């Protein structure tokens, strides 16, 4: 339980769907606030075609900024999403600490997201992951639409596990299941992660849930029971894949941290600072964000020890 880590993906997944352009200076300000709040793993952006996702056009510059000496704590990990070899080359050039890459279990979503079918994408991602690992980089390989797809409906566990097997055979030991469409429910989550644990008890497991149908936090707890230690979440509950059928926000970072801290977990994170950063995002976009702690406030500091 003490190994649980929050992987903040708001700067990437949270912003990629937003139409209002965020200046580089503002992104730098938000990242600095997250680091000051004690968030040790932050996804700064993705290396994708800026014509498809304009919000990510300055990812190289953002990584280069924080790659300068003294810009981030030595223990902090800055991750970036890559979809192809060109993206990997860009990430290598600007100092990404950990590469996040993956394929979709949904053939339809895969083609909309990357222009490739699942089988073709697997071969490409495995080769990229092995190249990054050989270069001394950390790699997290994901399976998108792992619990269901807005276009295709329920996803057969066997299809997801076949991709897991390919990753494990290739020596990729950090695996994330992404609930791109938000279809997951707790028993399904525990069951699928349990099957991965049977395959490799030493694998580092991560989860990425969207709150489309209100089950994001419940699914996080199901994942935790199944041995997952990395939890991806976004400030304010922002986000959503622009290439899925119903785009909805991620699990909200401050809501997740608040819930964990009520159990004495994730105590290294300054929840007040985290919440204020989420509040600043809301001010920037000029709307109320979906996070509950933003509205209700924290009760962690008032909790009495039994």
- Return the HEC string of the chain: CCCCEEEECHHHHHCCCCCCCCCHHHHHHHHHHHHHCCCCEEEEEEECCCCCCHHHCCHHHHHHHHCCCCCCCCCCEEEEEECCHHHHHHHHHHCCCEEEEEEECCHHHHHHHHCCCHHHHHHHHHHHHHHHHHCCCEEEEEEECCCCECCCECCCHHHHHHHHHHHHHCCCCEEEEEECCCCCCHHHHHHHHHHHHHHCCCCEEEEEEECCCCCHHHHHHHHHHCCCCEEEEEHHHCCCCCCCCCCCCECEHHHHHHHHHCCCCCCCCCHHHHHHHHHHHHHHHCCCCCCHHHHHCCCHHHCCCC
Residue predicted with more confidence, 258 or 74: 258
pLDDT value at residue 69: 80
pLDDT number for residue 305:
44
241 is catalytic: yes
For the segment 28-49, the average pLDDT, to the nearest whole number, is: 96
pLDDT at 65 over 50: yes
**pTM, 2 dp:** 0.93
Average pLDDT over residues 248-266: 93
pLDDT tier for residue 302 given thresholds of 50, 70 and 90: very low
Least confident of 9-18, 20-29, 183-192, 295-304: 295-304
pLDDT of residue 166: 96
Residue 89 has pLDDT above 80, yes or no: yes
In tens, the pLDDT along 100-147 reads 999 999 988 778 777 788 888 899 999 999 999 999 999 999 999 999
Residue 17's pLDDT is: 84
Mean residue pLDDT of the chain comes to 92
The single residue of 149, 207, 241, 252 carrying the catalytic annotation is 241
pLDDT in tens, 152-181: 899 999 999 999 999 999 999 999 999 998
Please give the Cα distance from 175 to 123 (Å, whole number).
16
pLDDT at 197 over 50: yes
What pLDDT is attached to residue 240?
A: 63
The pLDDT tens digits of the residues spanning 215-243 come to: 999 999 999 999 999 999 999 999 765 54
pLDDT-derived band of residue 306, with 50, 70 and 90 as boundaries? Answer: very low
What structural domains does the chain harbor?
5-302 (3.20.20.70)
């Amino acid at each position: 339980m003490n190994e649980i880590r929050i992987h903040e993906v708001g700067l990437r997944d949270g912003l990629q769907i937003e139409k209002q352009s965020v200046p580089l200076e503002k992104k730098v300000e938000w990242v600095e606030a997250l680091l000051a709040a004690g968030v040790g793993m932050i996804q700064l952006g993705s290396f994708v075609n800026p014509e498809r996702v304009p919000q990510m056009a300055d990812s190289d510059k953002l990584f280069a900024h924080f790659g300068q000496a003294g810009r981030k704590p030595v223990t902090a990990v800055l991750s970036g999403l890559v979809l192809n070899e060109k993206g990997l080359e860009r990430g290598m050039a600007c100092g990404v600490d950990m590469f996040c890459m993956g394929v979709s279990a949904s053939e339809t979503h895969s083609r909309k997201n990357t222009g490739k079918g699942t089988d073709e994408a697997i071969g490409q991602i495995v080769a990229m992951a092995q190249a990054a690992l050989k270069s001394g980089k950390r790699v997290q390989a994901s399976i998108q639409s792992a619990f269901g797809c807005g276009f295709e409906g329920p996803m057969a566990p066997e299809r997801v596990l076949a991709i897991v097997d390919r990753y494990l055979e290739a020596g990729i030991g950090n695996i994330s299941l992404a609930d791109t469409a938000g279809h997951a429910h707790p028993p399904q989550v525990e069951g699928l992660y349990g099957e991965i644990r049977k395959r490799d008890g030493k694998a580092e497991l991560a989860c990425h849930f969207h709150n489309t149908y209100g089950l994001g936090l419940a699914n996080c707890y199901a994942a935790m029971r199944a041995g997952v230690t990395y939890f991806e979440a976004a400030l304010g509950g922002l986000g959503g894949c622009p290439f899925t059928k119903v785009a909805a926000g991620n699990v909200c970072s401050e809501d997740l941290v608040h819930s964990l801290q009520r159990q004495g977990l994730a105590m290294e994170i300054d929840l007040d600072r985290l919440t204020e950063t989420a509040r600043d995002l809301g001010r920037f976009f000029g709307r109320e964000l979906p996070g509950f702690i933003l509205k209700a406030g924290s009760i962690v500091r008032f909790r009495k020890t039994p």
